[in-house]
Amino acid sequence: MNGSTWVAPKVPVLYSVLTTGENATDARVYGPNTNSFILEYGQVVEIILNNADAGKHPFHLHGHDFQVLARGEENAGYNFTSDDALTGVNVPSIPMRRDTFWVKPQSYFVIRFRSFNPGVWLWHCHLEWHVASGLIATFIEAPLELQKNLTVPQNHFDTCRAGKVLTSGNAAGNTVDVFDLKGVPTSPAPLPNGFTARGIVALVFSCISAFLGMAVIAWYGSKEIGTSKLVAGNKKHGEDIIAKESSDSLLVDQIR
C-alpha cells in the first residue's frame, strides 16, 4: 500500500494510541510499516485507490460503511488524483454504501466516509493471502477521543502477557522516547535487480549438481540388464501364479 508492506508492530497500534498521550496524533509513533493515517474527529475522508495490478481486489474498511463515488473500468488507468478521478463523473446524490468494494484490474475507485467512529481501523484487501502479504493500511481515527472513552478489559492484557505481546509504547515498544523506533519490525528489503554474487554462486553449483545428476543417471542406465527365466506357472483358484528367477532375486507375481 503506497509502496509499503504492512508489518505487525511489537505493540499493537491500539495500545500505542492509548499509551503515547498527545503524541498519538503523530503517525511516526506507529512505525514505518503499519501504513498509518491519522484522522480527525468528524473529518470527511476521501480515498482514491489506484490499482496497478493486473488482478482485481476487494477492499474492506473496518468500522465504517463508506459511500462509493466513482469506479473506473478495467484498464482505465491507475494514476488518478482526486480531481482526475472525479472529472466527468456524475456523482449520485445518494451514493451507494458498502463496507467492501472491489477495484478492477489496472483501474481505480473513489470512496468517502466521515470519521465519527474513534478507533483503529484496518483498510485491506479481503483476499486472505493478500492480507498475509501485507496489503493493509491503518486508519487511526480521533486518537485523543479514543484515549478519553476506551477502557481495555484486564483479560486483554492477560492474553497479551501470556503471548509475550507488549502493551505500551510506540511500535518498537519504546516508552521513554516514543519517536525512537530502534528495533521496530520492518518489511524485507526489495529484491535486487539481476543476479547478486551469492545468486551467481548458487546458480553455478545448481548447474554442476544438475549435470552430475544426469551423468549418474546415464551411467546407471547404460549398465547391462540381468537375464531372467520363467521357472513355473500354474493356476490356482482362478489365478495365474508366475515365478521368475533372476540374477538378483526370486520374484513371484500374481496375475488374475
The average confidence (pLDDT) of the chain is 89
pLDDT tens-digit series, residues 84-138: 889 888 888 999 999 999 999 999 999 999 999 999 999 999 999 999 999 999 9
Angle at 30 between CA 29 and CA 31, to 5 degrees: 95
> Which pLDDT belongs to residue 90?
87
The Cα 252–Cα 240 span in angstroms is: 11
pLDDT tens-digit series, residues 13-44: 999 999 999 999 999 999 999 999 999 999 99
Full DSSP string of 218-244: HHHHTSPPPPEEEEEEEEETTEEEEEE
DSSP state of 11: S
112 DSSP β-pair partners: 46, 67
Flag whether pLDDT at 243 surpasses 80.
no
Instruction: Walk me through the domains of the chain, giving residue ranges and CATH numbers.
Output: 13-162 (2.60.40.420)
pTM of the model: 0.74
pLDDT tens-digit series, residues 40-81: 999 999 999 999 999 999 999 999 999 999 999 999 999 998
> Which pLDDT belongs to residue 228?
57
Residue showing cell 513355473: 232
What cell was used for 36? 498509518
Cβ pair 181, 31 in contact under 8 A: yes
For residue 222, give Cα distances in angstroms to 87, 216, 249. Answer: 73, 10, 21
